[in-house]
Amino acid sequence: MTLDLTDKQWGDLLRLVKEVQAPDETPRAWSIPPGTVVKRSELHDVYGGNRGLTVGASRRTSNAFLFLDRSVTGELAPRWEGPVLLAPGQSQWTDTISDDNLAALAHRRRGVPLRVFVAHRGESLYLGEFAIELESPVERWVDTGKRNLLSPRARWQHVVDTRTPLFRLRQLNGVEMPTAHEDSFRNASHISLRLQPASDQPAATAVRKLLTVLENKPAVATSLSELDEAQLLATLVQRARRQADLDDLRGVVEDSGSSEDNLQKLVKRMTWIFGGEFLPGTVRRDITPQDQLDLALLRPDGTLHGVELKKADIKSLVVEQRNHLVVGAEVNRAVGQAMNYLRELDEKRPQILVDFGIDCRRASMTVVIGNSGFRAAGASPEEIDETIRTYNSHLNRVSVTTYDRLIENAQRAIDLTASDR
């Protein structure tokens, strides 16, 4: 149920947000112990920096970050050679060293600590503080192939050679780099940077005590429900939970190894991401005997909306055709699957209405496929968006969207509930 706040309550909340975001609240001390796992999205929310880069500056604090990807093989695989860690930096195509790579190469000269993490599916295991070698900071530059630089609307295309520095680092403190990162992440201590206690008492402990009181004393719960602050708390908790789910989904979507099953498990618990026109929760997936929906949503009038979830890393999300971009074969195949399901719903409509009370006459489908961040066909996210919009304009009961666009729209909705009141 949607909870509305009065203008006074939202005014109080906005004043509180301004106080929390004041300059003197910017983190001054490093608060992540070595060997601890944090969500990368939370790390950058608190300390700043670009969550999509391998190396870069914190922006909000005097720190530099470097993220290791243990799934990389070949010359760019992070590895120890004696006391020196060889770690790849950011791929670049300019002759001069990029600002991102300078964040690591010049960190000692700037007096900024270099914090090294192992990245895995949206989470980061903090190894500790490292230092670049002064005499030979770069082992070598590795050629990493060619990249297409496309202008908006593909008016011109320029092919550039890319290369990546292999840094030479020495560890100053912290923990050893894990050999099996799956087990290391599973067994490590996980912390949230969003739940910072206001005193020595952890926030989670205070909440548990409050819940115990409410459970044991129903009269207190009844009195609390009448307070404006209780309504505010419920809204904030819902928003925080949705933000955490969205961060988890973003991490899985940005991982090229994520499967459809990984995505289905996450999206099933966050049906709100498809907008406020659907009822919370889902209905049964096997409405027709021959097919099964990944997600089945209901509108308030009882009509059905199906969701078909595909992988995020789709190499042929868009392809070149003469001087234009068109959607690839996997998109067409997914849309064809959705159309077949709609045909089954149309043919079985009377029986479905009797058996389940669901009206399929105006049923529709959404296909979620691909992530424009993976740059299919070398196209920019804007070009991929335009290609899919053109494709959707010729569809009727089926629409196609990418995971990054779905996440961006959901993030905008969360941000609006926090400020546009």
pLDDT value at residue 70: 82
**CATH assignment of 255-419, among 3.30.420.40, 3.40.190.10, 3.40.1190.20, 3.40.1350.10:** 3.40.1350.10
| Distance between CA atoms of residues 134 and 185, nearest Å | 32
pLDDT value at residue 154: 47
| Distance between CA atoms of residues 298 and 283, nearest Å | 7
For the chain, what are the domain ranges? Answer: 32-190, 255-419
* 32-190 placed in CATH 2.30.280: yes
Q: Classify 69 as helix, strand or coil.
A: strand
Query: What pLDDT, in 10s, does the model give residues 199-246?
Result: 444 555 666 666 666 666 667 666 666 666 666 677 777 777 788 888
pTM for this prediction = 0.53
Structure tokens at 22: 């004041």
pLDDT value at residue 166: 94
Asked whether 6 and 228 are in contact (CB, 8 A), the reply is: yes
Please list the alpha-helical segments (H only) found in 150-202: 181-187
pLDDT value at residue 225: 63
What CA–CA distances, in Å, run from 388 to 145, 286, 397? 28, 29, 15
Could you say which DSSP state residue 294 is in?
A: S
pLDDT value at residue 284: 60
pLDDT value at residue 329: 94
Asked whether 58 and 27 are in contact (CB, 8 A), the reply is: no
Q: Of 171, 146, 144, which Cα lies nearest the Cα of 72?
A: 144
Q: Which residues of the chain have pLDDT under 70?
A: 1-29, 148-158, 180-182, 194-218, 220-232, 276-277, 279-286, 288-291, 417-421
Q: Classify 88 as helix, strand or coil.
A: strand
**Ramachandran sector of residue 35 (left: φ over 0; alpha: ψ -120 to 50; beta: rest):** left
pLDDT value at residue 145: 80
CA of residue 135 relative to chain centroid, distance:
38
